[in-house]
Amino acid sequence: MAQPNALTTPPPGSDTHVGAHTEQPAPHKGAFPPFESHTFLSQLIWLALAFGLLYYLMDKVALPRIQAILHDRANRLSSDLDEAQRMKSEADAAGAAYEKSLADAQSKARDIAQETRNALAAEAETKRKALEADLNQKLAASEATIRQRTGEAMGNVREIAGETASAIVERLTGQAPDQASLDRALDRAATAH
């Protein structure tokens, strides 16, 4: 070993050496420091004072304060959670109300659209009917006019045919047929048709 004499030769030390940790071999009196009983009372006194002070501080100040902090935090957390739960249910209710009003608005819009469609259809129908009636009326009037004109024309035909027949007969026979035989012949021809 490098310094074989350090352990075995304690220097002539005084009872109360005041060196801090130096790099010199320590002056100790051979007794093992933890078992030097003449220091026990002193150590116990300082231990009692220090630990008593510590206990007093912990008991009166530190632990009640930390306990209060933890308690407050737990309260705060649970109240915040409750608040969050309440807000969430409020938000859910608002969401449901929104959905409902949306659905209402949609069905209302559908109703209005349907109504409008119906109204428009009805209006178109009446217009169409009016137009049809008008047209039918005009058609009927036209037909009546045509029938009248046809009748008139047919009347004229008989007259023309009579005149023509009387002219033909006069040319062939040299004498004009009397009106009565002419009418008869015309009637026969008309019925033969």
Partner 1 sequence: MAVSVDPIHQFELQPLVSLGHIGNQQIAFTQSALYMFAAVGVIALLTIVATSGRSIVPSRMQSLAEIFYEFIADTLHQATGDEGKRFLPLVFSLFMFVLILNLFGMIPYAFAVTSHLIITFGLAALVIGVVIGYGVMKHGSHFFGLFVPSGVPKPLLAILVPIEIISFVSRPISLSVRLFANILAGHIAMKIFAFFVAALLSAGAWSVLSPLPLALTIALTALEFLVAALQAYVFATLTAIYLNDALHPGH
Q: Where does this chain bind partner 1 (CB under 8 A)?
A: 1-3, 6-7, 16-26, 28, 32-36, 38-48, 50-51, 53-55, 57-59, 61-63, 65-70, 72-73, 76
Q: How many CA atoms lie within 13 Å of 165's alpha carbon, on the beta-carbon side?
A: 18
Output 51 or 98, the one with its CB closest to partner 1.
51
Helix (H), strand (E) at residue 74 = helix 63-173
The least CB distance from residue 49 to partner 1, in Å, is 8
Distance of CA 106 to the CA centre of its chain: 12
Burial 28-56 (b: 16+ CB within 10 A, else e): eeeeeeeeeeeeeeeeeeeeeeeeeeeee
The least CB distance from residue 113 to partner 1, in Å, is 57
The least CB distance from residue 91 to partner 1, in Å, is 25
The least CB distance from residue 76 to partner 1, in Å, is 6
Output 68 or 153, the one with its CB closest to partner 1.
68
Helix (H), strand (E) at residue 66 = helix 63-173
Output 12 or 33, the one with its CB closest to partner 1.
33
